[in-house]
Structure 1
Amino acid sequence: ASSNHWCELTHWISYMNNLKLFLPKNIKSRIIIYDLDLKEQHKFILDKFKSKKKINELRKFNYTKYPEFWNIKKNRTSRGEYGWKVGIIKEISIEFPGFLIWSDSGTIISQKTLENLPKILKLHNGFISSKSSGTMAKWTHPGVYKYFNVDGKKYKNVHNCNAAVLFFDTNKTQYLIDALYECALEKECIAPRGSNRKNHRQDQAILTYLITNDHRKCEIDEINLGTRAHGFDTT
């Protein structure tokens, strides 16, 4: 999280804590917030949340371990090409193998979805995300296909995955996370020259490419999955 999404983050934390009260006791959740660029007063409040067990951990993302272009403090316009998101998913997948949920600040996940997550992930062989608006033809820069040395035409009608909330069973799909991570380390892979937010969707584009090659699809809409991206946005 960063301070420009502070309101969404606090709403999300409150929502998730209320939701946990109604979940079956066999579902043990761990809420980890990453500090990407938080102000001191916001870190202070999150530390209070931690002491009250509203979150399990507040971690400062260690940009020095990763490519410089990931650093949103130095690359504000490009938002670090969202490589840090992939880095976080990779870190957590190694530390806590099993069910893993990535959620952008402010994204809503329904109680029913959380309750049925083991069944949902079993049905979808370890990964699910809702579809996003547009296709790979619109939101994947041709440089991606050049990087992988493939013909982009066969991907043009594929629905984009919505990377605002992602569900993994890492026991089945760690290889997808690993492949996404390896791409994110290379700028020409995750954000080829000439790409920007008007023609490319960084982590979302690469994730869609990889899961398509793995004979998977993001074809369920948000309502049926029980999610709503940026449902707490205040802008």
Structure 2
Amino acid sequence: MILSTRNPAHQKHAKSRKRVTAVTSPMAILGVGVVVAYFFFSFQQDLSMSHHLLSSSTQSPTTHVSTLKSIDRQYSQKTKCKYHGNCPSNTVCENGVCIPFMPTNNITSNHSQQHERCVQTCLEELVKDEYFYHGTEPKIVRTFPSKSPLSGCVIQFERQRVSQPPKNIGTFHSWIDTRLRNIVRVDMEQDMTMDSNKNPDFPLVWNAYCSPSCKSDTDCPSGNRCIGRPEQRIASPVPIHSEPKSCHTSATSHNKHPEDMIIVTGSDSAYYSALQNFAASLQYWAPTRKLVIYNLGMTNLQLKNIKKWINLHALHWESGIPTTLPPHVNNLKNYAWKSIIINETVHEYKSIFWLDAGATFTGNIDSIEEIIHRNGIFLVRGQDEDMKRLSHPRTYQALGYEKETFRKGLKSPHFAGGIQGHVYPSRFIDSLVIPNAKCALDPDCIAPTGSSLGNHRYDQTSLSILAYQTTVQATHYTEYLAAGRDQLNADLFQPSEKIMWTSRGSCNFYYQNVQLKV
């Protein structure tokens, strides 16, 4: 469900090789409650599964089994999916439907060699992921085999803060080379309505589902095949090196859907030169990727030139920011338009990656798509050490929190609003994407009275509050982002491991050296 609709009166661009349309938003956009209600009912079956999970790690196995049986019955009508990222919590995509990976009966200790191997390889990966992603270490509650027909294991754990690196953790770069292998999903086990930001004493339990490593079909349970992960087919070099194969029920859910991900950006006339370099870098590194551009105030001549670009898929808001949006959205410096655009495009295109027009692609971007499709979200952070230094207290209140108590005692860097990837549906749509768009429509949330760049970060602040919610705890992938030219290959024609650069409009290399195809 989107927060705006197309105006059919606008004409499509005549060339058949690409679609260029204009978008406008009706006054009904202010009735966001209707949108959210519609979305809730359309997706509530997906969410209902996570609402009834264990209320504590000490709950008896009998109650646990009963609860999971109830959840399994709710999945008698399976949720359709294309990627793991489409699925609700504690489910994965197999054969085009989301199925629970948590066992529903006979939850007993399993000490088979196959199970122990699965747990060992999973735990080795989990310890590093928890430390480098979240600054935590897993306290194991228990382990058990995954639900049939899936093969693999589930590690149930609590997150504990650590001040020192765990033993034998290795370096950050060695972790980059060995991650994303066996861990398929990490989801919260407990009632998703609980939030430790409001109740810090509330214990949280997480479930890590891992697929077992294999070399051939004979290493897998009956009915499973030994299949290489999608990352193996992604062009090198990228910072994902997944050599092991895993056991799966079919290949269809693990085949890469090539180039489903749509690239989205927006620009006004002042950023048009940067947009040209952005588009040229995209054409160089991903020549067949589709590009969607939002007009935030470009000239007619600039729009005319954009329509000629061969990779342009659609031009939205051709007449500028719709007049049906609240007046504060026209102030580009509060960035309300960005959250609205992201919500709109993910509902329309299903798989999107937003990158600010002032940025530059500097390497193969297929690994970004793989992460988005696996996890349902792609975010980065790290531009500051603690978001509370530059975030207005009224934004916290508008989102149901208090600044003084939110993540108290924890340094929480801002997430970047200008780099986001999402799929629809996903468990992050109702918990992050739509609430952020709703906040953007409310000036008291996105840009409270008295806010400025000296004390607030607008869309980044609202995004970060939502991303840090206990029920979300979004993973960041900042290792893909270069903050400066010195972090990139000396020759920009050669790929860099950091495949995006926040060049802030300062780079014109690709526009000068790569002819924009028309």
1:211 equivalent in structure 2:
467
2:315 equivalent in structure 1:
58
| SS of 1:206 mapped into structure 2 | helix
How far the C-alpha of 1:190 sits from its partner, in A, is: 0.8
Q: Among the aligned pairs, what percent are the same residue? A: 21
**Amino acid aligned to 2:396:** Y
Contact 2:381 2:416 in 1 (8 A): yes
1:55-94 to 2 correspondence within 5 Å? 55-59=312-316, 60=318, 61-72=320-331, 79=332, 81-94=334-347
| SS of 1:195 mapped into structure 2 | coil
Unpaired runs of at least 5, structure 1: 22-27, 73-78
1:158-173 to 2 correspondence within 5 Å? 158-172=412-426, 173=428
**Equivalent in 358, 374, 378 of residue 106 of structure 1:** 358
**Amino acid aligned to 2:303:** K
> For structure 1, which segment, 149-158 or 167-176, has the greater mean C-alpha deviation from structure 2 after superposition?
149-158
Q: How many residues are matched?
A: 217
How far the C-alpha of 1:5 sits from its partner, in A, is: 0.6
Question: Which structure shows the higher strand fraction?
Answer: 2
Supply the distance in 2 between the matched residues of 1:111 and 1:128 (Cα, whole angstroms): 17
Contact 1:70 1:80 in 2 (8 A): no
Q: 1:220 to 1:44 in 2, by over 3 A?
A: closer
TM-score under structure 1 length normalisation: 0.82
How far the C-alpha of 1:132 sits from its partner, in A, is: 3.2
Supply the distance in 2 between the matched residues of 1:138 and 1:39 (Cα, whole angstroms): 37
How far the C-alpha of 1:232 sits from its partner, in A, is: 4.2
Please give the per-residue CA displacement for 1:39-63, whole angstroms capped at 9, x wherever unaligned: 12211211222xxx13122222442
Contact 2:292 2:314 in 1 (8 A): yes
| SS of 1:129 mapped into structure 2 | strand
How far the C-alpha of 1:121 sits from its partner, in A, is: 2.5
1:38-57 to 2 correspondence within 5 Å? 38-49=298-309, 53-57=310-314
Q: 1:207 to 1:233 in 2, by over 3 A?
A: same
**Amino acid aligned to 2:275:** L
Contact 1:165 1:229 in 2 (8 A): no
How far the C-alpha of 1:203 sits from its partner, in A, is: 0.7
Q: 1:219 to 1:33 in 2, by over 3 A?
A: closer
Supply the distance in 1 between the matched residues of 2:297 and 2:392 (Cα, whole angstroms): 28
Supply the distance in 2 between the matched residues of 1:90 and 1:193 (Cα, whole angstroms): 25
2:293 equivalent in structure 1:
33
Q: 1:104 to 1:57 in 2, by over 3 A?
A: same
Contact 2:379 2:420 in 1 (8 A): yes
> For structure 1, which segment, 218-227 or 131-140, has the greater mean C-alpha deviation from structure 2 after superposition?
218-227
How far the C-alpha of 1:2 sits from its partner, in A, is: 0.4
Unpaired runs of at least 5, structure 2: 1-266, 483-496, 509-518
Contact 1:164 1:229 in 2 (8 A): no
How far the C-alpha of 1:149 sits from its partner, in A, is: 4.2
Q: CA RMSD in A?
A: 2.3
2:429 equivalent in structure 1:
174
Per chain length, whose mean CA-contact separation is higher, i.e. which structure has more relative contact order (CA < 8 Å, sep 6+)?
1
TM-score under structure 2 length normalisation: 0.39
Supply the distance in 2 between the matched residues of 1:163 and 1:62 (Cα, whole angstroms): 19
**Equivalent in 392, 401, 419 of residue 141 of structure 1:** 392
Residue 366 of structure 2 corresponds to residue 115 of structure 1 = yes
Contact 2:468 2:474 in 1 (8 A): yes
Question: Which structure shows the higher helix fraction?
Answer: 1
1:190 equivalent in structure 2:
446
